Amino acid sequence: MCSPDHFTVEYTINPWMDTTQPVDTDLAKRQWTNLVEAVQAAGHTVHLLQPEPNLPDMVFAANGSLVVDGVAYGAKFRYPQRQLEAAAHEKWFRSHGWPYVAAEETNEGEGDFTYVEGPGLILAGWGFRTDGRAHAEAADALGRPVVSLRLADPRFYHLDTVLAVLDDHNITYYPGAFTPGSQRLLERLFPDAVIADEVDAEAFGLNLVSDGHNVFINTEAAGMAKKMAAAGFNPVSVDLSELKKSGGSVKCCISELRS
């Protein structure tokens, strides 16, 4: 995770960003700290990436890599405003002894990649940020099969805004964010998935992190939290309203290090 010390909205690279809307960096830091404490209270270790000036979106640490089996496949950001973040992530992994594969194809880490442990599948989004060719590159780098899913709604420009892994075998997702073919693929692969609706997605309720029991989710997504509870999970709500101004929430803030 990376503290939002320099967080602001000074450019527009997704539909949620509005440079005319005031941003309270101190409030963003307090909200982020509450998320860190909630994750630690559930027994997880949080490693910190040093924030760098002039990179206001570094708080969204999930976008910097995909880590599977102890190997990090690095990001290569689409927009120039974020491209220097990739080097900061690479430096962290290499300095901490993690095998690191630098990307040649455009991808935004766990923004568009996630991993389902049971079947050993990487689910990968494309259509807005990540180039589809990065899916083959990720498969080669990590030695795991990749399922390509095409995103269809520009409001949900990253896979992690409309799909989340809940445990080793199941997921939750919003079907309307995908093309018909990708919807059919998800239905076949995950017939027992928790289905979210547009209201859940707009509240960034799918931008969550689950450890198989606790589901860390933003407070605005009350309906999604009820769905999680009904599915047998323990929703842990954290207010990240300030960070949502830049188009991110819980999952965006957390890069999962799978050893």
SS3 of 126, please?
Answer: strand
What is the DSSP-derived secondary structure letter of residue 80?
A: G
- Per the annotation, the verdict on 253 as an active-site residue is no
- Per the annotation, the verdict on 252 as an active-site residue is yes
CA-to-CA distance for 158 and 231, rounded, in angstroms?
Answer: 24
What is the DSSP-derived secondary structure letter of residue 2?
A: B
Q: Which of 2, 89, 135, 158 is catalytic?
A: 158
CA-to-CA distance for 99 and 112, rounded, in angstroms?
Answer: 21
Quote the tokens at residue 213. Answer: 């029991």
SS3 of 30, please?
Answer: helix
Q: Which of 89, 135, 252, 253 is catalytic?
A: 252
Contact 86, 114 (CB under 8 A): no
Q: In sequence order, what E strands does the chain have? A: 65-68, 71-74, 100-101, 113-116, 121-126, 146-150, 163-165, 171-173, 194-195, 209-210, 214-218, 234-238
What are the catalytic residues?
Answer: 158, 252
